[in-house]
């Protein structure tokens, strides 16, 4: 069974600053995908970024980037130039690649507040 | 851009009643999922569905729950006899699951309140 851990229940950052959210996971799988989802107050789940475990290059989507350390089973999210609209709950999630249509396993979430 | 839709956005029901939550997945997606999020907690997997049958279910998905794809577009979650602890946000998701594409796209959720 896979587990995903987010050890920071809450974080805050000043507008325009950079913040990093942490995520660790545990799995015996060798091939898998990792995701960060954003959940604003509307509670919609929005995909922010994904990382394939077989790729060594860290994924980047505009102001969002990840630091993927496969050996350490760590997958952190960096948000650059933070904006007020980034205020949300952020969930790290895992799914194995070998089995199609597998469940996403989520972490507990980190509530990020961007202050003006 | 195609998106997953869910109805209703909010459902209030009395304990013991049956509810049906509806979802329209993205049209070319093959896998469908239901997740639940109790207020203040993490998102939990309930069930996945492929080729008109359940492909995986969690321990939460007991005999009170059932899923169905009654036609070519809708995907439903039925809770037969609701309990207070079923109060949660229910998310439908779908994925294409072609090679290199494992993202699950979520609908806006249905807030279920059991009184």
pLDDT tens for A8-49 read 999 999 999 999 999 999 999 888 999 999 999 888 899 999
Give the model's confidence band at B100: pLDDT under 50 very low, under 70 low, under 90 confident, else very high: low
Which among A52, A91, A103 has CB closest to B56?
Answer: A103
Residues of chain B contacting residue A104, judged by C-beta atoms under 8 Å apart? 33, 35, 43, 45, 93, 104
Query: Cα torsion for A42, A110, A107, B90, to the nearest 10°?
Result: -10
| CA A32 – CA A103 distance, rounded (Å) | 12
Give the model's confidence band at B101: pLDDT under 50 very low, under 70 low, under 90 confident, else very high: low
- pLDDT attached to residue B51: 87
Name, in order, each residue with C-beta under 8 angstroms of A116's C-beta and a sequence gap of 6 or more: A15, A84
Task: Please report, rounded to a whole number, the percentage of residues in chain A having pLDDT higher than 70.
Answer: 97
**Cβ distance of A100 and B43 shorter than 8 Å:** no
Given a cut of 80, is residue B62 above it in pLDDT?
A: yes
**Cβ distance of B109 and A104 shorter than 8 Å:** no
A95/chain B closest Cα distance in angstroms: 8
């Amino acid at each position: 069974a896979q587990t995903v851990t987010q050890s920071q229940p809450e974080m805050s950052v000043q507008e325009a600053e950079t913040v990093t959210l942490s995520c660790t996971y545990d799995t015996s799988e060798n091939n898998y995908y990792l995701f960060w989802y954003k959940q604003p107050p509307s509670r919609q789940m929005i995909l922010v970024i994904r990382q394939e475990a077989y790729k060594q290059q860290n994924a980047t989507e505009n102001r969002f980037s990840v630091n993927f350390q496969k050996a350490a089973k760590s997958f952190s999210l960096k948000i650059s130039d933070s904006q007020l609209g980034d205020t949300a709950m952020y969930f790290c999630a895992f799914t194995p690649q070998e089995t199609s249509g597998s469940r996403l396993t989520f972490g507990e979430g980190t509530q990020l507040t961007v202050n003006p | 851009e195609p998106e997953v839709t869910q109805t209703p956005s909010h459902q209030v029901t009395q304990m013991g009643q049956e509810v049906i939550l509806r979802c329209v997945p993205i049209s070319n997606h093959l896998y469908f999922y239901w997740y639940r999020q109790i207020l203040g907690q993490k998102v939990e997997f309930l069930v996945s569905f492929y080729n008109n049958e359940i492909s995986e279910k969690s321990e939460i998905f007991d005999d009170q729950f059932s899923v169905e794809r009654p036609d070519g577009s809708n995907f439903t979650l039925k809770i037969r006899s609701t309990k207070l602890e079923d109060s949660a946000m229910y998310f439908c998701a779908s994925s294409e699951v072609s090679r290199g594409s494992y993202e699950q796209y979520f609908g806006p959720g249905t807030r279920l309140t059991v009184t």
